[in-house]
Copies of this chain bind each other. A is one copy, B any other.
């Protein structure tokens, strides 16, 4: 592994929070709330942040809004935090433009979701060409982002085998349940795989993932960092026990309610969550009440 790759591997190792984007009840951006959330998270052991991810409702923002959000995060983040930014659009030229803008603002890595508007046409060849085209023209290195729950595309191991030695494609985030080991074993040495969900974070680490981008870290960053440390240390019994608890916790929040649930839980623990943008619906009063009870019963939230 090159010196360069070793450095990047170190920077990608740990827990990343895919920051939620705060809105008011009319769907207007609340950038100061975002800054304040980041300032709180700065004090945690989080390795860094993902701006403009699925949990940041990046596709619900206009182009200019996306950049305002990223600027806010970059400004508010303490210097040791690593910043990834969702720069994957539906075409190579637009994704390149986003990578350029993100680089200028100060993001360290671009994150490229598999384009999926034309999902049925996304052959291995189409994806490989796309990822390489964007990486070559991006000023910052990129990470691939596999999320079949959203895209209906599961990146093949052929794609990973082909692009994982590219000097500008440093790793991937895998939010599918069950393909992470296959990516690990098919990737070229040095390629960094991050778990995209707290549900399989511990087993991912056991198998060789370097870290995770976990929506649960928006709400409960410290338990996620504990789990990371148990994984790195190979503490099987404690790790399994915490993983199972965190899995249950994650199901209550994003498993059941998605982004709206993450935001509602953020409100409950002292961050600003607020409502998602339409067409996403916020939790009902009853759902919020139940969520509060569940979180207290879980032991992760104090009454």
Contacts and interface: CB of A to CB of B under 8 A. Distances in A.
Interface of A: 27-28, 54, 57, 59-64, 89-94, 97, 115, 117-123, 125-127, 129-130, 133, 149-150, 152, 157, 176-179, 181-182, 184-186, 199-200, 203, 206-208, 234, 236, 240, 243-245, 247-248, 251, 258-260, 277-281
B247 A185 contact: yes
Nearest to A244: B185
24 contacts: A59-B91, A60-B117, A61-B91, A62-B89, A62-B94, A63-B63, A92-B278, A93-B278, A129-B279, A177-B177, A178-B199, A178-B200, A181-B200, A181-B243, A181-B244, A182-B247, A182-B251, A184-B244, A186-B248, A203-B203, A207-B243, A207-B244, A208-B240, A208-B244
Given A118-B258, A206-B203, A236-B234, A278 B59 contact: no
A206 B234 CA distance: 11
Contacts of A277: 91-93
Contact of A118 (B117, B152, B243, B280): B280
A70 to B, nearest CB: 16
A178 B181 contact: no
Number of copies: 4
Contact of A258 (B120, B125, B150, B236): B120
Nearest to A234: B236
Which 8 A-B pairs have CB atoms at the shortest separation, nearest pair first? Answer: A177-B178, A60-B91, A130-B279, A178-B178, A203-B203, A92-B278, A91-B277, A59-B90
Contacts of A89: 60, 62
Chain A contact residues, majority secondary structure: helix
A279 B182 contact: no
B181 A247 contact: yes
Contacts of A121: 258, 260, 279-281
B60 A185 contact: no
Contacts of A62: 63, 89, 93-94, 97
B281 A129 contact: yes
Nearest to A115: B279
Given A129-B278, A177-B177, A207-B243, 12 more contacts: A27-B92, A60-B91, A62-B63, A93-B277, A117-B150, A126-B279, A133-B278, A178-B178, A178-B199, A182-B247, A203-B207, A207-B240
A240 B280 CA distance: 38
Contacts of A94: 60-62
A278 to B, nearest CB: 4
A27 B234 contact: no
Contacts of A127: 279
A280 B126 contact: yes
